[in-house]
Structure 1
Amino acid sequence: MTRFHALLTFTFLLCGSFSALAAEQPAQRLQRELTPLATLLSGGVDAFELSVDADLPIDGDKQKIVLRLRKLANGDYEFAGTHKDYSFVLQRVQNQTTFALPHHKVAFVGSGESPQEDHLAAKGISGRLVSTDSTASKYVTLVLNAKPEAFASLIGFLLKPELDAETNQWRLGDKITAGFSDEGKHCKLNSQEIEINVKLTHELENDSLAWSVPDDFKITELPRDEIERQLVRGVRRATEILAPETRLIKPPHNSRKVENGELRWVEGQRVCILSGTPEQVGLAHGQLLKEEALKTIDSVLYTFGTFNTIRTGTWFHHDLNDAYKRLAPHIPERHKQETKALATALEIDEHLAQTINVFPELFHCSGFAVFGSATTDGKLYHGRVLDYMTTIGLQDAATTFIVSVDGKIPFANVGYAGFIGSVTGMNTKSISLGEMGGRGEGQWDGVPMATLMRRALEECSTLQEVMTLWETSPRTCEYYYVFADGKTNEAVGVAATPEAIEFIQPGQGHERLGEGIKDSVVLSAGSRLEKLRERVLEKHGKIDAETAIWLMSRPVAMKSNLHNALFVPEDGILYVANANHKHPAAERPYVKLNLKELLQSSVQQRAVSKKD
């Protein structure tokens, strides 16, 4: 379990895990023991205190997470969570919502009327926090609509625990035991990996909330609806990521067309073909991929944004806005126009769409190019491994875009609905590019990396033109790249910061990359670099498309491997694999796409549209 997943679980535990926790068998005793928790979950208790002490495996070690929820009869409540690295307190009273981070000694406070949508009022909160695209919604529906006794009996029947007469505990399979005491108000779950203690108190000693903002905390005033929307949508999307419904795991393969765009499915992957002016491209993008783009926004802005706020102590929206203010002057007007049209189609605020598209700049993979004597046919093969945060669910919006903007070079962009920039792409001039993030967060006085990548795809016909674009553009942060040109069998590795840029030629040794390999550029880090170099040397002279794909397999690709792409630029061919909720991209099927053929269908579609 990663720290990010642990933190998602942190906020999700009350919504989903308690329901599962209550799930045992319909024996009379078990029904009696489960009824107190079922009564609380179904809203049958006006005032209570609930505590969860959990020891969970995180990053290979057992780590403690403590949750406390106190609710008063008038609907006021306080929810707190602590971990050795993170902590939060959410307090909601009639006229104020406070989200505090004790580790950072900061509090975000919103006052006034309760928001009309995505609010945190106690009544019916489970229905707002748990998405219908999450399997957890089934438990919530059951809890909210069934009588506590019936709920306890049904869940008990589904899990079928067995009572161990010697230990007086219930056994769930071979590994988990559950014991109840204090008339069902105390439950303890154990296995070799976890230990969870749940305690309920129905009679509160005093009718008040215990926590108040300490004097040494920095207080930031925010609109109340902004705080509550951030948390509600963040948790709701997290329930989809942690427990996705079938519709997300196996989305319906519905192809459709709009003016200037087509969405088609190729062997289970989304391919979105867009053409026209920047405005037309943006509008078609949003019309074809509205639901997927909104999932992307929820993943980035709300789920990751909430996690990042807890991690850093700064409000994520403020970070994003600050980055955009400094990056915006370096973004081409045509890209802003495309994003504005995208926002119109998505029916979201334009500023939100503009800021969300600089997200890659806030956070910081492997890549290679082999050709000539390294390959079986002398062709250039360019592999790109994106190891990037499968934990925020971007795979739900994975899309390969085939884009032809009027007056620009057409290109393929392996990306995600809602993003117009590029981190992985190839154009019709046989130029291919991939990046690898480094350090330098906050160095934003330059062209956003994803904008620079897209500009290269749209504007550059040769490797030298790509290199010149990077040399002459103000750059941000620290990034590494592999650029390749299939026309000339040229490739180069790049190390770029705002202050300097270094080009590593094929066969050139480097202190951070090791000795050079003939007709090869190899870029990665740590043990993944060692394994990639080992594989290239082992197969040198025998590399074809199948072998090049093998070069990117685990452990060169990490568990967080979001997508992989293999470009054969000379032929205009790319192979793409995307992660799903269970497997990294390297363990998923690759789909072969022909850029020229896909573009031809776009040309034919535009001709028909103009004729009509």
Structure 2
Amino acid sequence: MNRASLFRFMSVFVVVLSAAIIAPGTAAQAQGSGKASNPENLSESIGPLLSILSGNSETFAITAGIDVQIDDRIQHVDARLVRFDSESFDLQLTHSDYSLQIRRRANETAFALPHHKVVFTGAGKLVGDDQLAPGGMAARLIGSGSVVALYAPVILGGDPAVVSQVLTNLIDTEFDSSQNRWQFDDDFSMQFSNQNRNVAIQVDGEHSAVVKIETNLPAMSDVNDWPGYQMVSLERKEIERTLARGVRRAMEILLPSRQLTNPPEQNKTVEHGELRWQDGQRVVLLHGTPEEVGFAHGQLLNKEAQRCIDSVLYTFGTVNTIRNGTWFRNDLDQAYQRLAPFIPEDHQAETFAFAKAMELEPETAQAINVFPELFHCSGFALFGKATVDGKLLHGRVLDYMTTIGLQDSATTFIVSIDGKHGFANVGYAGFIGSVSGMNDQSISLGEMGGHGEGQWDGVPMATLMRRALEECSTLQEVQQLWETNPRTCEYYYVFADGKTNEAVGVMATPDLLKFVQPGEAHELLGEGIEDAVVLSAGGRLKTLRQRVQEKYGKVDVDVAKWLMSRPVAMSSNLHNVLFVPQDLIFYVANASHSEPAANRPYVKMDLEALLKSMPSPTLSP
């Protein structure tokens, strides 16, 4: 099972187990005209399960067999949760490809991965919300960005009569007395048996669970009894913070509220920065020294950056730990230690200032900024005979795991660092580096990830991209930057210069650097196309090449956007950008929770006008 599928599966499990009586999607569909089918009977049916979900039951044991349709096939997981008291519980999840166990006691926590025979352990007292103490856990795991938060006060109140009345008033509800089965709207049902201790749940016709409340509590196991396992000691707060924040963010991603799907468009200004909304997209203007820019970044995008950090370090981090058997944050910290010597001091100063504004440990801000080393994408540059008026058009497709919710922090940055070129950086709150950008010298850049993850003794890809935007005035200077700096992993790039109508494709590894000129054939890219650089992989490359050849000589802005549509863009398409560097114009489309970027509207932005709107000198000479 790949990382995206594993994430989706675990997210569904979290919702089924933690919010089983709230039908996914019902908040958006509730019209207040439901059919009240004996709320007293519903109250009796849900009483035992609600007592567990609300935390009213001090002790309980519950098992679940869950079937979820992922990647066109049914995935099955078995689960068991035992609560011993307000501080202690055991949780076990078993799937054919992975498994996990958590043993939590008052002073110790163990997080075990049976498939890998490794267990992460930590000890000590914990305080605050980022912990797994079962007392009040449900309230701590429901973030404000999840639609579940709307119903949490009712559910956590634990009164079956109130819950049943709310459900029957808000949702079309039908009761089949012969089967003791409740149907909520058309996509959610619950069938009760064994004196309401067994519940069969169906969601959307694709996901199901059979939940059983056990009558006998098993004995409590020793938290450190893991024969044959490799024991890895971590700070307990790191273990529980990762799992708590990871689950909370997963619920926001899977069941987002309007706070995320339709965020309030509130402009904001701080010293050295401004947040604007342009046609539904977040645009942040930053200017000044690196420290001033970093601090303003953290002030303007505090919530968005925190959600981005939670998505990467905790939700994705938990999934990656389960998948690989190594602690993700340790892997990321080790990567940063190898990359840090190659990161410029001014970038590090900006990161520290961002962390200060966010009230974060600097190490957290550093770790989040090496995550783009995992991105994958497509891109093209067309000009001369390939376009309607000969003007260079540079398309850039970023495909990377919309399932982890990075779209919630999508931001176009307009940045002017004192003494450097002003530039546009299409990215995400909390990221200092660049994966898509254009500067005031008509230089535009996009990257495409390859292989070689772990080859990190060089300048991070996103740092090199950012440096090119800040430092380079010509295509030759960009190429020289890559030639004269140690590189990481395997990446492919499209570099373009609107001043000269030049573009080049790039293959870069730590040991190899090759520039692919327009029209040049390449073993990985096929025969050359005159006045074109076309980069992608597999079937996406074939489709992109066919589209370019089909529209050759007729490509304008609208056609160029079409070139980046599905299936050239993957279902995980986070953002698309079309640069028109000669005019310093660019168009941005960001993914939503339900659609990839390629299916979303593009917003036109004028880099020169945005830079000139800042209260300081911006356009470099």
**TM-score category, normalised to shorter length:** over 0.9
Secondary structure of the equivalent of 2:447? strand
Aligned length: 604
SS in structure 1 opposite 2:326? coil
- Following superposition, the deviation at residue 159 of structure 1 comes to 3.6
Q: Determine whether 1:338 maps to 2:350.
A: yes
Q: Which whole-Å CA distance do the structure 2 matches of 1:209 and 1:541 have between them? A: 71
Does 420-429 or 245-254 show the bigger shift? 245-254
Q: Please state whether the residue corresponding to 2:20 is helix, strand or coil.
A: helix
SS of structure 1 residue aligned to 2:65: strand
Amino acid at match of 2:209: I
- What is the match of residue 186 of structure 1? 198
How far, CA to CA, are the matches of 1:486 and 1:362 in structure 2? 29
Q: In structure 1, what is the Cα distance between the partners aligned to 2:213 and 2:222?
A: 17
Which residue identity does 1:7 align to in structure 2?
M
Q: 1:555 to 1:99 in 2, by over 3 A?
A: same
1:197 matched to 2:243: no
> Does residue 407 of the first structure (1) align with residue 410 of the second (2)?
no
Q: Note if 1:517 corresponds to 2:520.
A: no
Distance (Å, rounded) in 1 between the aligned partners of 2:600 and 2:562: 12
Q: Distance in 2 between matches of 1:122 and 1:487?
A: 61
- Residue 61 (structure 2) pairs with residue 49 (structure 1): yes
Paired AA for residue 505 in structure 1: Q
Deviation at 1:192, TM superposition (A): 4.7
What's the CA shift string for 1:149-191, capped at 9, x where partnerless? 3323432444433334665644445566542110111111347
TM-score, length-normalised on structure 1?
Answer: 0.94
Aligned residue for 1:384?
396
SS at match of 2:153: helix
Matching of residues 52-451 of structure 1 within 5 Å: 52-73=64-85, 75-164=87-176, 169-173=181-185, 178-190=190-202, 192-201=205-214, 203-209=215-221, 213-362=225-374, 365-451=377-463
Distance 1:326-1:601 versus aligned 2 partners, 3 A rule: same
Give 1:197's aligned amino acid. V
Q: Greater CA deviation, 360-369 or 172-181?
A: 172-181
Match among 5, 9, 30 for residue 8 of structure 2 = 5
Secondary structure (helix, strand or coil) at the match of 2:297 reads helix
Is 396-405 or 41-50 further displaced after alignment? Answer: 41-50
Q: What is the distance in 2 between the residues matched to 1:166 and 1:284?
A: 62
User: Residues 548 and 563 of structure 2 are in contact (CA less than 8 Å); yes or no, is this contact kept in structure 1?
Assistant: yes
Amino acid at match of 2:487: R
Amino acid at match of 1:507: G
Match among 603, 606, 611 for residue 616 of structure 2: 606
Q: CA deviation at 1:301?
A: 1.1
Kept in 1: contact 2:39–2:161 (CA 8 A): no
In the alignment, the residues of structure 2 paired with residue 364 and residue 553 of structure 1 have an alpha-carbon distance, to the nearest angstrom, of 16
What does 1:558-597 align with in structure 2 at a 5 Å threshold? Answer: 558-597=570-609
Q: Deviations over 1:356-380 (max 9, x none)?
A: 2111225651100000001011000
Report the equivalent of 2:19: 16
Deviations 1:437-488 (A, max 9, x none): 1111110000000000011111111111111111221110111111111111
Supply the distance in 2 between the matched residues of 1:43 and 1:363 (Cα, whole angstroms): 41
C-alpha displacement of 1:138: 2.5
The whole-number CA distance in structure 2 between the counterparts of 1:277 and 1:175 is 54
1:145 to 1:163, Cα distance in 2 relative to 1, 3 A: closer
Distance 1:178 1:355, change over 3 A: closer
**Residues 479-558 of structure 1 correspond to what in structure 2 (within 5 A)?**
479-558=491-570
- Of the structure 1 ranges 136-145 and 548-557, higher mean CA displacement relative to structure 2 is found in 136-145
**Secondary structure of 1:365 counterpart:** strand
Tell me the C-alpha RMSD between the 2 structures. Answer: 2.1
Kindly indicate whether the alpha-carbon contact (under 8 Å) linking 1:42 and 1:148 is maintained by their aligned counterparts in 2.
no
What's the secondary structure of 2:134's corresponding residue?
coil
Deviation of 1:318 after TM superposition, in Å, equals 0.6
Give a deviation string over 1:6-35, Cα, whole Å, max 9, x none.
1222344322335449x9954443332222
- The one-letter code sitting in structure 2 at the alignment partner of 1:199 is K
Q: Is the 2:297–2:354 contact (alpha carbons within 8 Å) kept by the matching residues of 1?
A: yes
548 and 120 in structure 1: CA distance in 2 versus 1, 3 angstrom threshold: same
Quick one: structure 1 residues 466 and 333, their matched pair in 2 at CA, closer, same or farther if it must change by over 3 Å? same
Give the Cα–Cα distance (whole angstroms) in 1 for the partners of residues 37 and 452 of structure 2. 54
Q: Structure 1: how far apart are the matches of 2:218 and 2:360?
A: 45
* Deviation digits for residues 264-289 of structure 1 (CA, Å, limit 9, x no counterpart): 11111111111111111111111211
Instruction: Give the distance between the partners of 2:309 and 2:185, measured in 1 at CA.
Output: 39
C-alpha separation in 2, matches of 1:179 and 1:267: 46
Give distance in 2, aligned partners of 1:536 and 1:363. Answer: 24
2:44 paired residue number: 32
Describe the shift of the 1:29–1:537 C-alpha distance in structure 2 as closer, same or farther (beyond 3 A).
Answer: same
Is the 2:435–2:465 Cα contact (8 Å) retained in structure 1?
Answer: yes
Paired with 2:309 and 2:401, the residues of 1 have a C-alpha distance of 14
Q: In 2 relative to 1, CA 175–151 (structure 1 residues): closer, same or farther, beyond 3 Å?
A: closer
Residue 456 (str. 1) matches residue 459 (str. 2): no
Q: Which amino acid aligns with 2:616?
A: R
Q: Secondary structure at the match of 1:606?
A: coil
Q: What is the Cα deviation at residue 521 of structure 1?
A: 0.8
Contact 2:56 2:158 in 1 (8 A): no
Alpha-carbon distance between aligned partners in 2 of 1:482 and 1:279, rounded to the nearest angstrom? 30
Give the Å deviation of 1:77.
0.8
Give the match's secondary structure for 1:240. Answer: helix
Structure 2 unaligned residues grouped into runs of 5+? 27-35
CA contact (8 A) 2:437 2:469 kept: yes
Misfit runs of 4+, over 6 Å: none
Q: How far apart in 2 are the matches of 1:330 and 1:379?
A: 36
CA, structure 1 residues 172+247, in 2 after alignment: closer, same or farther (shift >3 Å)? closer
Q: Which moved more, 1:441-450 or 1:271-280?
A: 271-280
Residue number among 459, 473, 478 corresponding to 1:466 in the alignment: 478
Measured in 2, the distance between the counterparts of 1:17 and 1:559 equals 28
After TM superposition, the structure 1 stretch with the greater mean CA deviation from structure 2, 427-436 or 245-254, is: 245-254
Which stretch of structure 1 is more off in the superposition, 150-159 or 72-81? 150-159
When structure 1 is superposed on structure 2, of 310-319 and 166-175 the one drifting more is 166-175
Q: Is the Cα–Cα contact under 8 Å of residues 86 and 135 in structure 2 kept in the other structure? A: no
Query: Which secondary structure does the structure 2 equivalent of 1:503 belong to?
Result: strand
Question: Secondary structure of 1:536's match?
Answer: helix
Distance 2:283 2:50 in 1: 45
**CA offset digits 1:218-245 (Å, max 9, x no partner):** 1111111111111111111111111111
Asked if the contact 1:179/1:187 (under 8 Å) is kept, the reply is: yes
Q: Which range moves more in the overlay, 65-74 or 500-509?
A: 65-74
* Equivalent-residue separation in structure 2 for 1:211 and 1:59 (angstroms): 36
Q: TM-score, normalised by structure 2?
A: 0.93
